[in-house]
Structure 1
């Protein structure tokens, strides 16, 4: 028994096979399963198919860009890496691995502005420090210079957070070529303050050991002058006697026992 109206003939020029489950292209032409894919690769109306349509076709090309799931039956092969990319991610300049020199140049591109900023900031900080030091030498501007310096130190100082804010004394302490803003308690003895400062600056402290070099605090100036040789003296007393002031610049260093 024949079914003359069942199925359709493949539209391919060399086929014309009667197919009972034909596949119809968006252009309206019908093909057997053997010739449908080859036709779609050439047909302008079938280059961009919907997701559901693509899933019904074998060997669909997926974009090689990380995270991209764009599908296509039309190959867009990169001449350099020989991989398929969708139109959005087909940037030939990005498929090659970067050599060491290219990576170095890219790092320098981003590092240069940071370096310039840090150099400019260091120059400004040095100028401010010089201006403050000059101002301190003049009686009319000394008090204002100390206030400005104290505000600078407070914004960066480190110390024990257990110290109440009202009891904190701030110092800009220098050791060798390092300077660190720190705070201690006004109720502490000089010895305890030196212990805390050495801990903040990560200095070896042998003040409690016999026959070892001791850490002492010095006033920063034209002539280095020790704050006090009496480690048990209270910082409040040193403040009242104007030996030190809140926001002072001090030097910490080792001396022979």
Structure 2
């Protein structure tokens, strides 16, 4: 009896300690940033500067302070065909300008380099796991995915998106269309149909370099505040968006899919 009582007391104490170590925040936000080879150096630099400027902007800081708890938890990583753990900036609290500036400085100090492949599915899967590694309790959990092309490496994007949203994670998109490719049509339509998901999910397109910083700041403010984004009219297409278009455009895709055709 004493042994059982001691065990119950230890479990209760452990639960109380765990509860005490969990900090409430308005949102747990993961920034998943594209560094795939389709991003040239200029685009990569514009993207980095956009995130740094947005995090330091007074409007972003004020949006954080205006939340119910007045703080958010934020993390960051870069992705291409794979995700390197070395690109991950661990979870940190932002509740004011000093913390926002410190987080922006960590991004600013990172070297800029691109890598091969575009695995949006891998980025979503990696981002979803990060929520299990923190000690925060957010009213919302959001993965913010930026990218300039469709998924073309690793697992298909739809199962990864659906697995994340089934966990209550919202996925928003930033479609970088500064140098659009006609090969797969409109990237914002692709993101709307194949990448984003969850309650209130949205995608913002960026078509001009000078709009990048404004779009990122607007996106972060919407994610932090939880406000509904303005209605976005999606152009009606003659055919449904093909969520495997990136994979199909890869060299030798058909040969890998139907090897018997080579015989």
| TM-score over 0.5 (shorter chain) | no
TM-score tier by shorter-chain length is under 0.3
Higher CA-based Rg: 1
Structure with greater helix percent = 2
Higher relative contact order (CA 8 A, sep 6+): 2
